[in-house]
Structure 1
Amino acid sequence: MEPIVLVGGGLASARAAETLRDEGYDGDVVVVTAEPHHPYERPPLSKDLLRGDAERDVVFPLDGTWYGRHDVEVRRGTLAVGLDPAAHTLTFADGGSLAYSRCLIATGSSPRSLDIPGTDLGGVHYLRTLDDCDRLSQVLLDASLEGSGRIAVIGDGWIGLEVAASARTLGLEATVIGRGAVPLGRVLGAEMGELFAGLHTERGTRVIRNTDAVRILGADSRVTGVQLPDGTRVDADIVVIGVGATPNVGLAEVAGLDLRSGELGGGIAVDGTLSTSHPDVFAAGDVASIPSPHYGRPLRVEHWAGASDGGTHAARAMLGNRAPYDSLPFFYTDQYDLGMEYIGWVGPGDGTGSGSGGGQGRVTRDGYDDVVVAGSVAKRELVAFWVLDGRVRAGMAVNVWEQVDRIKELILSGRQVPREELEGFTAA
């Protein structure tokens, strides 16, 4: 029998390989990754590994010896460029090919490029891969040792804020340049986005809102700053571009697999088993658009838990398990002394909706009509709930621990939860 082939070097592939062996599959398994590393996970790349606070092996969910001990072949530095579902064959950039019995596409996503002058200057970075992290970490640590350094982060999403927090922790001057009225406004709305803005401002980060970078400035082929539309110059020795990511669907496109529309988040269309439009090809992680029984629409989620849960689920499905994927989206962040866990889903809004503690918030796209807070925003110890018609759609715990399972129960219950019950959540 031909091997099961896992295409991608991220957490989804690692979890799929691990699950295949845990479930007793003793056939051949091959992992194909374009990177020179064993499969790894990405959250540390913008946090402790970036700051030099963790050893490099923190990113590997399975150590390098695991694959040999479990008879899993890893083809590193191998780029898959073709997939023929009818022939059950993968082809590679070096001209080689590999037959498979079942194939998992877990090719992840790539940073969205910024089409402005100056992105080719020395000192301009994207952060997606382990090699990206190695390069940027060395630059930040060198600047920290010298006691000087200025970083401008273009983008006010999770990556941008985590990089800024890491840079400030190392003692660099940091500026975040964002399009939104508040950082993370499209994800969290106005009040919770303001919470993160306040956190960064208090730690000395300059947060510039409602603007774009129009040019990266330089001299002698090195970055010297960022220009804004009104002519303002932000001085910088280091620039990190973090303006989002796009799913790596190229392999699915050449194979003729069904894709989701941009309005639904893009990605490879899969069913509840994570099978694509060809029954022997599956997709998991950032690249997969998965129907959600809880939200009544497909979701494509670019977070650690989706890759972990998705890789596990796809492996079981490749072995014949037909159970539908029903995990709720979950993600977390650590910035300075703030730790946050978020579970559930609401669609992106415009970041201007009012939040709560009292009156009704404005409905945002795909969304919610209220944000109810239990605990203290001022102390940054709280649980926030995104609510639609009294039903909890998502919840976020900030510096309040072991609450995710309780929030999940409220989401899955589908019941209308009285406001006073939510407001008293942290005291219960």
Structure 2
Amino acid sequence: MTANTAFVIVGAGLAGAKAAQTLREEGFDGPVVLLGEESEYPYERPPLSKGYLLGKEERDTVYVHPPEWYAEHDVDLRLGTAATAIDPAGREVTLADGSRIGYERLLLTTGSSPRRLTVPGAELDGVHYLRRLPDSDRMKETFGSASRVVVIGAGWIGLETTAAARAAGVEVTVLERAALPLLRVLGPEVSRIFAELHAGHGVDLRFGVQVAEITGNGGRADGVLLTDGSRIGADAVVVGIGITPNVRLADAAGLQVDNGIVVDAHLRTSDPYIYAAGDVANAFHPLLGKHIRVEHWANAVNQPQDAAKAMLGQDVAYDRVPYFFTDQYDLGMEYTGYVEPGGYDEVVFRGRRDTREFIAFWLAEGRVLAGMNVNVWDVTDPIRALVTSGRPVDATRLADPGVPLTDLLDRPAPAV
């Protein structure tokens, strides 16, 4: 196929599959080509560190659509097919086998890749990264046989895999350079709660440490050496030190790249025929008035739907408030909003932190930037409304569980 008639999507993950679905739902009846490097049908990633890793969800539950959906909706899904280059002038995508596909519109949902550890021993067997379904399979098998695991990095992936390992009865040591887990994301007021959570489940937490080497025996990891000279023995090592957006194709094609593929509120890149969505997109957010790149499930679900509509010529702008969730042990959490590291004045708590049933709100100049509900449910909509309103709220009333969150929107804050 070389004629420029197809809508081509590069990246057959959740974002790519949702974009293809939206194109069909919106009535597009032209060719839709969905290209994926992996051999698996498009799947969702949260279960890989949550329910599937814990053994609570079956493999077939992770897929975005049943396998037959793609043929039934005339989506040309090509698995195990890597795109190697984009020619914006000719509007063509080159594949690994040398063939080319012409496009009328192109959507890049190339996602991201785990940041690799760059210390001696990092390439030993038994060092795990979690991004793809086979990674979760290997990790689940490891947790079923290992006695001791070291987790490097106390971000979301590190903490969720730690909880899964503990559920499997594995001893876990978590190593983190910062003073607390999730410190950049949550700030010290809330990140301490996650430190207490894991400590209470027997995790050996070590903060303010740096890894010097992964030690090994017979080509397999058997521990971690720290820069202070101490060593922690382990049967396996899990590395969760962040992800980097997959921008190689976009960069080589001359698209604007800066912490991801730069797109406007319509998810359009610097080339009017090329769009980007999901982890890889650094998108202008109309509500926030800045570009942000969001690495969470809800963004991969919702953003490509608006990108598909924009590709069809609809006047849409992606302005959803970021949302993510986690489940660790008996703690379930949803987070709605967006806060730059250190970009808040105070944190207001509503509820009981001692029983981990509360909502935390991050405020700046009296306005709610984000809210996180922990083991408190059915409050996402009012939290989102508080965030999007941009109105100052009374912190005392915000902290009072007896005051409905909706009342904070209906009544202005008292004059100070």
CA separation in 2, counterparts of 1:377 and 1:180? 23
Deviation per CA, 1:97-117, whole angstroms, max 9, x where unpaired? 111111100000000011101
Letter in 2 for 1:324: A
Q: Which residue of 2 aligns with 1:359?
A: none
1:21-420 matched pairs, under 5 angstroms = 21-143=24-146, 149-260=147-258, 266-348=259-341, 364=342, 367-420=343-396
In the aligned structure 1, how far is the partner of 2:90 from the partner of 2:185? Answer: 42
| 1:427 Cα deviation from its structure 2 partner | 5.3
> Gaps (5+ residues) in structure 1?
144-148, 261-265, 349-363
Between the two proteins, the alignment pairs up a number of residues equal to 401
Whichever residue aligns with residue 148 of structure 2, its letter is R
SS at match of 2:275: strand
Q: Please give the alpha-carbon distance, in whole angstroms, between the structure 2 residues aligned to 1:113 and 1:37.
A: 23
d(CA) in 1 for partners of 2:31, 2:401 = 49
Q: Is the 8 A contact 1:9 1:37 kept in 2?
A: no
Give CA-to-partner distance per residue, 1:70-91, whole Å, 9 cap, x none: 1111111111110011111000
What percentage of residue pairs aligned between the two structures are identical?
51
- The amino acid that maps onto 2:200 is E
2:11 is matched with which residue: 8, 13, 20? 8
* Partner Cα separation in structure 1 for residue 323 and residue 115 of structure 2: 22
Report the Cα distance in structure 1 between the residues aligned to 2:351 and 2:12, rounded to whole angstroms.
Answer: 40
RMSD: 1.1
CA contact (8 A) 2:153 2:240 kept: yes
Contact 1:375 1:426 in 2 (8 A): no
**Aligned AA for 1:238?**
A
Conserved? CA contact 2:8–2:105, under 8 Å: yes
1:258–1:268 contact (8 Å) kept in structure 2: yes
Q: What is the rounded CA distance, in whole Å, between the counterparts of 1:76 and 1:161 in structure 2?
A: 31
Query: How high is the TM-score relative to the length of structure 2?
Result: 0.95
- 1:9 to partner: Cα distance: 2.0
Please say if residues 81 and 93 of structure 1, whose CA atoms lie closer than 8 Å, have aligned partners that are also in contact.
yes
Aligned partner letter, 1:231 = G
Supply the distance in 1 between the matched residues of 2:318 and 2:241 (Cα, whole angstroms): 29
CA contact (8 A) 1:52 1:141 kept: no
Distance in 1 separating the partners of 2:56 and 2:86: 40
- 1:51: Cα distance to partner? 2.1
Q: C-alpha distance in 2, partners of 1:202/1:427? A: 32
Measured after TM superposition, the shift of residue 142 of structure 1 is: 3.4
Output the amino acid matched with 1:104.
Answer: L
Amino acid at match of 2:287: H
1:194-250 Cα deviation digits (max 9, x unpaired) = 100111010111111011111111111111111111111111101011100000001
CA distance in structure 1 between the partners assigned to 2:388 and 2:277 by the alignment: 23
State the alpha-carbon separation in 2 of the partners of residues 65 and 137 from structure 1: 28
Which one-letter code corresponds to 2:169 in the other structure?
A: G
Q: Secondary structure at the match of 1:100?
A: strand
- In 2, distance between residues paired with 1:240 and 1:408? 34
> Which structure 1 residue ranges, 4+ long, deviate > 3 Å from structure 2?
none
